[in-house]
């Protein structure tokens, strides 16, 4: 937990830097000058020496895509390996902040410096905004020292990058680490293909919640959409329709085609244990792999990281159930 002395502030857009336009609040450039002005007003606030870079154009995080995740990863690797920064503070919108924190957790496995993400519920400069408290709170955390890896700072807390979800749409304490059961075994070693210096590729992914009345045809449409990996949000401890042979057959057929089928619990504090109910073991027999207590954000980011590294489906399944960075084990 060495204190940062040479920090990169990487601005991607989001509410924190938005300004009013004719259509409403919109991402805006020029945030570096605003940050410098605010820091000059409060020299007592602890902060490392920092430099500022902007990913152009700045975006509303509701428009976040895999290409943006890969651009962030590339910028961070460049900053750490080529430019010698000892920490990165990434400014990001809140709508998809937890998704990006999770994705980067798996894109930056093994990185030797802290990468801290933050944003705000209200723009900087708005009355009562949380923007400056979050930003300077993050700067203070890095000034005092953070562990290597990906974290999220919000409302005074440093949160685990691969355990966080957004729970509220308006309150300042919008993010929390989910207290889901984590019983996964730790990976003995990180495969070379998953090291943060290894480039990644876009991945076709899909998320399919199970719900009463989900038809075999609807499930088949998702599985046949070209997705390389499908995250199924199951009931309770990992259950789903087990009395419909056609439903289970389309799952088996998809897995035989090489589609990775991963399962998480829909319950906010749930975890998958296929052995509890027959309705769960039927899904396991059809080819689903357990995400244990992973959140949706973590499971999706993990599928993206594993498949984007070019690993074979069987290797993705093997690694998916193992803990790589604290996402499914304490």
Residues with active-site annotation: 15
Distance CA 152, CA 103 (A): 12
Strands 205-209 and 175-177, sheet pairing: unpaired
Give the number of other CB atoms < 10 A from CB of residue 201: 11
| Residue 26: its H or E element | strand 24-26
CA angle (161, 181, 251) in 5-degree steps: 90
Give the number of other CB atoms < 10 A from CB of residue 271: 21
Distance CA 135, CA 290 (A): 36
**Which letter, b or e, does each residue of 6-30 get, where b requires 16 or more Cβ atoms within 10 Å of its Cβ?**
ebbbbbbbbbbbbeeeeeeeebbee
Closest to 111 (Cα-Cα) out of 135, 133, 80, 90 = 80
Report the greatest alpha carbon distance in the chain: 67
């Amino acid at each position: 937990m060495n204190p940062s002395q040479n920090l990169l502030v990487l601005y991607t857009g989001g509410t924190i830097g938005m300004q009013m336009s004719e259509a409403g609040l919109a991402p805006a450039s020029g945030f570096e000058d605003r940050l410098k002005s605010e820091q000059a007003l409060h020299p007592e606030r602890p902060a490392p020496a920092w430099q500022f870079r902007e990913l152009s154009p700045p975006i509303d995080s509701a428009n976040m895509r895999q290409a943006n995740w890969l651009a962030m990863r590339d910028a961070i690797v460049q900053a750490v390996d080529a430019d010698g920064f000892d920490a990165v503070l990434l400014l990001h919108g809140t709508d998809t902040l937890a998704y990006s924190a999770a994705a980067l957790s798996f894109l930056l496995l093994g990185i030797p410096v802290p990468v801290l993400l933050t944003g705000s519920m209200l723009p900087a400069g708005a009355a009562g905004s949380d923007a400056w408290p979050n930003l300077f709170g993050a700067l203070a955390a890095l000034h005092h020292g953070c562990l290597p890896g990906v974290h999220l700072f919000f409302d005074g807390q440093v949160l685990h990058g691969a355990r966080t979800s957004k729970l509220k749409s308006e309150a300042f304490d919008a993010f929390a680490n989910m207290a889901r059961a984590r019983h996964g075994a730790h990976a003995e070693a990180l495969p070379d293909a998953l090291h943060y210096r290894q480039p990644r590729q876009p991945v076709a992914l899909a998320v399919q919640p199970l719900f009463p009345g989900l038809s075999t045809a609807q499930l088949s449409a998702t599985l046949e959409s070209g997705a390389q990996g499908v995250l199924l949000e199951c009931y309770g401890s990992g259950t789903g329709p087990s009395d419909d042979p056609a439903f289970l057959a389309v799952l088996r057929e998809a897995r035989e085609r090489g589609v990775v089928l991963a399962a998480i619990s829909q319950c906010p504090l749930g975890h998958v244990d296929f052995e509890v109910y027959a309705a769960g073991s039927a899904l396991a027999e059809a080819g689903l792999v357990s995400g244990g207590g992973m959140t949706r954000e973590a499971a999706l980011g993990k599928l993206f990281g594993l498949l984007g590294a070019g690993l074979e489906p069987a290797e993705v399944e093997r690694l998916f159930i193992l803990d790589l960075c604290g996402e499914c084990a304490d």
